[in-house]
Chain A
Amino acid sequence: MQKEQHFLEVHQIYKAYGSGDSRQEVLRGMDFTVAKGEFCVLLGPSGSGKSTLLNIIGGIDCADDGYIAIHGDKLKDMDEKALTMYRRKHLGYVFQLYNLIPNLTVKENIEVGAYLSDHPLETEELLQTLGLYEHRHKLPNQLSGGQQQRTSIGRAIIKNPDILLCDEPTGALDYNTSKEILKLIEEVNQKYGNTVIMVTHNEAIQQMADHTVKLRDGQVRKNIMNENKISATELDW
């Protein structure tokens, strides 16, 4: 697939929390770009700033300095309303702990995502694809972790977002389920051509990515383009 250069630009991002003695710099001049349709993994240990960076890319948090640009549109220039529209039109989110709406069924949780799009994917078909059709009338607390995460992915991709942000999507899952989920994300990336940015501390996952950004202490340590990526099913850790 032809990748568009500089689809997402992360430019000199600085972010700190607290003030005075308790001030802690989480991101210190982060700089990299992601091409359209690229599977990008942000890899790093705890405290490296990867989740903070993902939140800033998602417009949930804002940088103290630097900017994030999508198609050249800088997030820092957007007001709250524009940011909402940005998330609505361009982003899909997958969290480590799924963050499903507990009082909605599987189908309804996915429809929550569909509602935001003018041209959503077909819900029933997606449920089949996700292997959730049988469970579509269940509430999240009636599902296993893997099923919940699949629902979360369904909710994120049903609106066919430009960018799929995944924050440790396998962090709460066992090995086999994690591989299933990674495979699903890979399939989504390949089938729909979404740009995937995945935060993880699992080094094995970088093997299935087009692009790995290794982070430590709020800085990019390595920016690696993977020419020999493997399928999620081949991963092992």
Chain B
Amino acid sequence: MRKKGTRNPLRKRYLREIKSQWKKYLALFLLLTLTIGFVSGMFVANDSMETAAQEAYEKYNIEDGHFTMKELPADALLATFAEEGIHLVKQFYKDFDEDDDLDGERDAKARVFAMRDEMNRACLMEGRFPEKDDEIVIDRMHADNSNVTVGDTIRLNGRDMTIVGLVAFSDYSTLYENSSDVMFDALTFDVAAVTPECYETLDGKEAYQYAFQYNERPQSETEQKEKAETLAEQLMILSASGGLIDDEETADKLEELIDAGEALEEEGDTLEAEGDALEAEGDTLEMRGDALQEKADALKQEGAALEKAAMSLEITPDVAMQKKAELEKRGEELQKEGDALEAEADDLKKRGDDLQARADDLQKRADALEAELTALLPQVKSFEDLEQYEDETNELKDFVPEYANQAIHFAPSDLGSDKVMCEVLLIILIIVLAFIFAITVNQNIEKEAAVIGTLRASGYKRSELLIHYVSIPVIITFVAAVVGNLLGYSCFKGVVVSMYYNSYSLPTYVTLWNADGFIRTTVYPLLIMAAICTLVVFLKLRLSPLRFLRRDLRLSRRKKAVRLPKWKLMTRFRLRILFQNIPDYLVLTVGIFFVMIMLAFSVGLPATLDAYKADITDYMIADYQVILKSAEDKDGNPVETSEPTAEKFDMEGLVSVDGPHIGEKISAYGYQKGSSFFDLPDEMKDGEVYVSDAYSEKFHLSPGDSVTLKEEFGGRRYDFTIIGIYDLPGTVAILMPQDVFDRVFERKEGEFTGFLSKNEIMDIDDEMIMTVITEEDMMKMAKQLDHSMGSYMKYFAVICMLVAMLLIYLLTKLIIEKNAVSISMVKVLGYTNREINSLYIRLTTCVVILGAVITSCLSFLTVREVWKMVMYRLNGWFTFAVRMDLIIETTVMVIISYLIVSFFDMRRIKKIPLTEALKNVE
């Protein structure tokens, strides 16, 4: 039995073994250290920044959501929130053109708030908050990107403002101008704050935005979502009803009542018209009666005059009799006329009575309807009362609950996903390196087979030898993990932080000790390394001491040689080498695949962005897309333009309810017949639509499929049948002719959203325009991605090539070392170095080239799938560029890396001594 405290003497070999193969171990150590260091830095930076971002919720009192109204909302509308247990805070803002370098050119759009001291407070990063007019604080990251700092002057719509502080706005950690934007914009979008007094003096378009918090915070994500959806619906109804009602049922009921009221009013109007006609008829009758009376009076006077003349015998009796008869006849006629008039009057009276009865009935029904209205809405006593609410109707322009607010959430969630991705990359690389270590150990075991056999025969246990051979990989991994973590906390943390600060406007953070990160970057690599090496060594050490003494270490039964065709000897020789070294070449290919994935990303991303920029015109529906605030001007006339290329269009914001991204914002377009911007049929059935190819690709849709979409802020759902795919790669949209659009979305005739135009529309009042989407807006995403990641990609590609060189160096070194005796032997036989290189180097070259070509294709496809997964989380869609030239480029990069390494390999082969073949022993 071994004396207690006596250590295994084999441990003395560790240092010597490392020293004897220091180049290989150094390369492995460097790869491990740098990878662990970077990932450790990533963990430390991410967790510290994530903690700061989480703490910001309480520290800066971040909202539960916000909404924007088209007009300044009525008090009644706002009062409802207090009743619903929601705390509202006004956060109006104005957007300005920002000139950072005072050259008179617009550099960015600035969203200026009055200092917010209750909700969504800002974190001061440098300087102080504004105290006077013309003092401003702006976003720290935008300031960095625009090369302005505290003390500099910027110009907002021509007004000079002095920067007194740089801040991180808690609700704009990622600079999303609109919640529906595909990508944030740290280059041409800025958020700023001034004193409330200064804000009032700033002359610009104002957005009526309110932040809100629930008095009782939702306890779960589901509750949070339900609450937000209910609130959005309420808000939409409230704004549409001028703050009168907030639920759909009442809205429907009210609509019914209003319809019934309107029918009654129409009936009343008819009655009134009928009454008026009756009255006019009465007047005519009266006039005719009066005329008849006059005639009767005249007849009477004539009769009296006749009687007087007859009595005074001024006329003869015959004449008198004759005239009397005439008078009687005229009297009879008058009597007849009077009777007819009386009959007409009776009829008129009857009709008047009838009309009165109908009017009484109408009044009764109107009273009942009003009673019903009051019962429904106690604050409304009559239909006339509704008019005051009608004056206060509004429109909900935007509703963004906190959980869906990209400006708040994107950065923290990106921090989390980056961490996961880095961890996955670390694990893959550790596995690759563990296999390289395992191959190294395996070779050492084969080289030292007789010694191991002797030691085992002398009584050494398998476990003692296993520990001995696994120790070096584990020790090197442990040292690399420790050094890597030290580098992670010191150098790499700064690198990662600066990367994030370059893209996100995050608040100040404190570096936190990250136990989880330490475990993942230390324990995991150690476990992986130990597990893989132990497995390989264990399988070898299972063999009997005799097998070791006989140097017979095959794990499988003797294999027959593969019969090869009668090719040239050198070809067969190479194939035999390939068959013998398949595990090594497999690890080499996996290593190349690992590098290729990183290379595909570093080469593919800039190419994707370049392609996107180059094809930007294809991605635009029109060069100018003018969205109006209203289709009618102040006087109620439709907004028109004299721009000859302009064409009206209609748009409705919908969201997906299923598929790979629930809640995806989908624009429904209504286009004019014979549209010059949409090459689509003029006639479609209701419910039939074309979908953009971006939508089709993202949601895997084909003609014939059905889709259900929902109102963005309401609960109404629409079912559509896809009849075709339209080439519109940048926009997730459905398209239909205007008349179909009007019927589907119950639009009034003549209603529209704005104009599409090839030229800038100059003759529409700015006040009428809500926004204009131009090429610049479409480029924002590409520019931002380019800024955030594109600039790093060249360096990343170089790092990838270095990693490729190290990996290929290690693996080809192992292959050459494994074949050293054979190489030495053929040298002894008289083979020249050139011939030997043609055997070993050319084979490896073929494997590397083939591996590079295959893995390059695979890696691009892999990255494309990963890219899709990322895009599923975002609004919008564009695909990762997988092009032949990029595949060739990455393949060439790996081949160049290999060629550099192969130079060292040739030197290594040349250095293999002839006596190596004569040793035959360890």
Max chain B Cβ within 10 angstroms of own Cβ: one of A86, A101, A104, A141: A101
Q: A60-B918, A99-B821, A99-B920 are in contact. Are A93 and B829 (CB under 8 A)?
A: yes
B265 to chain A, nearest CB (A): 101
Residues on B with C-beta less than 8 A from A137 are: 560-561, 563
Residues on B with C-beta less than 8 A from A60 are: 828, 914-915, 918
Return the contact of B580 from the options A96, A102, A115 (Cβ within 8 A). A102
Is A194 interfacial (CB-CB < 8 Å)? no
A115 and B918 within 8 A (CB): no
A108 and B572 within 8 A (CB): yes
A87 and B576 within 8 A (CB): no
B723 to chain A, nearest CB (A): 63
Is A88 interfacial (CB-CB < 8 Å)? yes
Max chain A Cβ within 10 angstroms of own Cβ: one of B554, B577, B831: B831
A103 and B576 within 8 A (CB): yes
Closest to B833 in A: A84
Closest to A85 in B: B830
Is A55 interfacial (CB-CB < 8 Å)? yes
A99 to chain B, nearest CB (A): 5
Closest to A98 in B: B920
Interface hits, B408-453 → A, CB 8 Å: none
A141 and B569 within 8 A (CB): no
Interface hits, A87-140 → B, CB 8 Å: 87-89, 91, 93, 95-97, 99, 101-105, 108, 111-116, 137-139
**Chain A 197-216: CB-based contact to B (< 8 A → 1; otherwise 0):** 00000000000000000000
A115 and B570 within 8 A (CB): yes
Is B403 interfacial (CB-CB < 8 Å)? no
Q: Which applies to chain B's interface (DSSP): helix, strand, loop or mixed?
A: helix
Residues on A with C-beta less than 8 A from B918 are: 51, 55, 60, 95, 99, 167
Is B479 interfacial (CB-CB < 8 Å)? no
Q: In the assembly, what is the distance between CA of A61 and CA of B560, in Å? A: 36
Is A81 interfacial (CB-CB < 8 Å)? yes
Q: In the assembly, what is the distance between CA of A81 and CA of B312, in Å? A: 179
A17 to chain B, nearest CB (A): 11
Closest to A108 in B: B572
Closest to B569 in A: A111
Is B490 interfacial (CB-CB < 8 Å)? no
Q: Which applies to chain A's interface (DSSP): helix, strand, loop or mixed?
A: mixed
B87 to chain A, nearest CB (A): 79
Closest to B824 in A: A99
Q: In the assembly, what is the distance between CA of A116 and CA of B828, in Å? A: 12
Q: In the assembly, what is the distance between CA of A95 and CA of B558, in Å? A: 24
B356 to chain A, nearest CB (A): 118
Interface hits, B262-306 → A, CB 8 Å: none
Residues on B with C-beta less than 8 A from A141 are: 552, 554, 558
Is B460 interfacial (CB-CB < 8 Å)? no
Residues on A with C-beta less than 8 A from B833 are: 84
Is B161 interfacial (CB-CB < 8 Å)? no
B915 and A84 within 8 A (CB): no
Is B745 interfacial (CB-CB < 8 Å)? no
Is A155 interfacial (CB-CB < 8 Å)? yes
Q: In the assembly, what is the distance between CA of A87 and CA of B554, in Å? A: 33
B558 and A142 within 8 A (CB): yes
Is B579 interfacial (CB-CB < 8 Å)? yes
Q: In the assembly, what is the distance between CA of A4 and CA of B267, in Å? A: 141
A162 to chain B, nearest CB (A): 12
Report the interface size for chain B: residues with CB under 8 A from the other chain.
Answer: 31
A58 and B828 within 8 A (CB): yes
Residues on A with C-beta less than 8 A from B828 are: 58, 60, 87, 93, 99
Q: A108-B576, A138-B561 are in contact. Are A116 and B829 (CB under 8 A)?
A: yes
Is B532 interfacial (CB-CB < 8 Å)? no
Is B14 interfacial (CB-CB < 8 Å)? no
Is B847 interfacial (CB-CB < 8 Å)? no
Closest to B552 in A: A141
B576 to chain A, nearest CB (A): 4
Is B258 interfacial (CB-CB < 8 Å)? no
A24 to chain B, nearest CB (A): 16
Q: In the assembly, what is the distance between CA of A104 and CA of B574, in Å? A: 10
Interface hits, B811-849 → A, CB 8 Å: 821-822, 825-833
Q: In the assembly, what is the distance between CA of A141 and CA of B573, in Å? A: 17
Q: In the assembly, what is the distance between CA of A101 and CA of B828, in Å? A: 12
Q: A103-B577, A112-B569 are in contact. Are A139 and B561 (CB under 8 A)?
A: yes
B187 to chain A, nearest CB (A): 59
Q: In the assembly, what is the distance between CA of A81 and CA of B554, in Å? A: 37
Q: In the assembly, what is the distance between CA of A4 and CA of B827, in Å? A: 29
B830 and A116 within 8 A (CB): yes
Is B917 interfacial (CB-CB < 8 Å)? yes
Residues on B with C-beta less than 8 A from A113 are: 829
B919 to chain A, nearest CB (A): 10
Residues on A with C-beta less than 8 A from B827 are: 84
B558 and A61 within 8 A (CB): no
Q: In the assembly, what is the distance between CA of A95 and CA of B561, in Å? A: 23
Q: In the assembly, what is the distance between CA of A50 and CA of B551, in Å? A: 26
Closest to A165 in B: B828
Q: In the assembly, what is the distance between CA of A126 and CA of B192, in Å? A: 92
Residues on B with C-beta less than 8 A from A61 are: 914-915
Residues on B with C-beta less than 8 A from A55 are: 914-915, 918
Closest to B577 in A: A103
Return the contact of B576 from the options A85, A104, A116 (Cβ within 8 A). A104
**Chain B 879-922: CB-based contact to A (< 8 A → 1; otherwise 0):** 00000000000000000000000000000000000110110100
**Besides A95-B917, A99-B920, 5 new A-B residue pairs in contact (Cβ under 8 A), listed by A number:** A84-B830, A84-B833, A102-B580, A103-B577, A112-B573
- Give 27 CB contacts A-B under 8 Å: A55-B918, A60-B914, A84-B830, A84-B832, A87-B830, A88-B829, A88-B830, A91-B830, A95-B917, A96-B920, A97-B920, A99-B918, A101-B825, A103-B576, A103-B822, A104-B572, A105-B561, A108-B572, A112-B573, A114-B569, A115-B569, A137-B560, A139-B559, A141-B558, A142-B560, A142-B561, A155-B829
